[in-house]
């Protein structure tokens, strides 16, 4: 009978070293991103991540309930949802700068990972919930901050901030990314902003 070796500590049993705390967590999250890039979410398992991180599944399950939570933490550490909110003094240039940031992320290795995760949302309800809570909200939160400044400048009515119109620009960029991939041309971004978004949200004079 084959006996499976159990490694309940953070020992790297191949090298005889022991990792704890942040060092171990970084290794696991890095291994998770590497697995996502290699096999996608559908092929990712806790066992594969543990093997790549040179630890055990037991160690992973002590920190994360399952692969969906693990993947979301890895994406956060990888900066997939980090956005610097622009403040150029104009709604138009703020939104263009915001969409360019999002486009740059989409055109990075993280973009391919996110595209795969979005495709898996319908098959994994827990993943879908976590993406909506932890990743998807980054765009709406950023555009809301941009709109709040535009309200203060008198460019936009307050009611727009909490309306469906608020996220149209980021929604269109995401849809373009999912349909056509990257890179997203600057011309596409300008068309989204000038032909669709600004006419929807700017205060009518």
Interval 105-126 mean pLDDT:
82
Give the pLDDT score at 14. Answer: 45
pLDDT-derived band at 201, boundaries 50, 70, 90: very high
Q: Which residue has the higher pLDDT, 131 or 45?
A: 45
Q: Does the CA dihedral 36-37-39-41 come out positive or negative?
A: positive
Give the pLDDT score at 17. Answer: 53
- Give start-end residues of each CATH 1.10.10.60 domain in the chain: 11-77
**Strand partners of residue 12:** 17
Cis peptide before 183 (omega within 30 of 0): yes
**Pair of tokens at residue 20:** 């704890």
Nearest-CA neighbor of 57 among 66, 47, 65, 42? 47
Q: Which residue has the higher pLDDT, 58 or 21?
A: 58
pLDDT-derived band at 135, boundaries 50, 70, 90: low
pLDDT-derived band at 4, boundaries 50, 70, 90: very low
pLDDT at residue 139 is higher than 70: no
Q: What CA–CA distance (Å, rounded) separates 167 from 157?
A: 15
pLDDT at residue 8 is higher than 50: no
What does the pLDDT look like over 151-179, one tens digit per residue? 999 999 999 999 999 999 999 998 999 88
Degrees to nearest 5, angle at CA 8 with 5 and 11:
90
Contact 98, 152 (CB under 8 A): no
**Pair of tokens at residue 172:** 């269109």
CATH number of 11-77: 1.10.10.60
- Give start-end residues of each CATH 1.10.357.10 domain in the chain: 91-201
- pTM of this prediction? 0.71
Interval 172-199 mean pLDDT:
94
Which one is the CATH code of 91-201: 1.10.8.60, 2.60.120.10, 1.10.357.10, 2.40.50.220?
1.10.357.10
What does the pLDDT look like over 39-53, one tens digit per residue? 888 899 999 999 999
pLDDT at residue 13 is higher than 70: no
Q: Which residue has the higher pLDDT, 77 or 172?
A: 172
Give the pLDDT score at 20. Answer: 72
H-helix segments, the chain: 21-43, 46-53, 57-63, 67-77, 91-106, 109-120, 125-130, 138-153, 158-161, 168-180, 186-191, 198-201
């Amino acid at each position: 009978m084959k006996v499976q070796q159990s490694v309940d500590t953070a020992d790297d049993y191949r090298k005889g070293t022991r990792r704890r705390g942040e060092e171990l967590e970084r290794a696991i999250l890095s291994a998770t991103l590497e697995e996502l890039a290699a096999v996608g979410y559908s092929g990712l398992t806790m066992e594969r991540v543990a093997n790549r991180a040179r630890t055990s599944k037991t160690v992973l399950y002590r920190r994360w309930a399952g692969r969906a939570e693990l993947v979301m933490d890895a994406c956060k550490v990888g900066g997939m949802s980090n956005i610097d909110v622009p403040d150029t003094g104009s709604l138009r240039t703020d939104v263009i700068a915001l969409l360019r940031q999002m486009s740059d992320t989409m055109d990075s290795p993280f973009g391919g990972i996110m595209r795969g995760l979005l495709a898996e949302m319908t098959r994994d309800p827990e993943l879908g919930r976590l993406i909506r809570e932890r990743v998807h909200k980054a765009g709406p939160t950023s555009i809301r901050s941009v709109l709040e400044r535009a309200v203060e400048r008198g460019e936009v009515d307050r009611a727009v901030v909490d309306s469906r119109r608020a996220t149209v620009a980021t929604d269109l960029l995401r849809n373009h990314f999912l349909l056509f991939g990257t890179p997203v041309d600057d011309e596409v971004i300008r068309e989204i902003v000038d032909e669709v978004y600004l006419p929807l949200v700017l205060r009518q004079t």
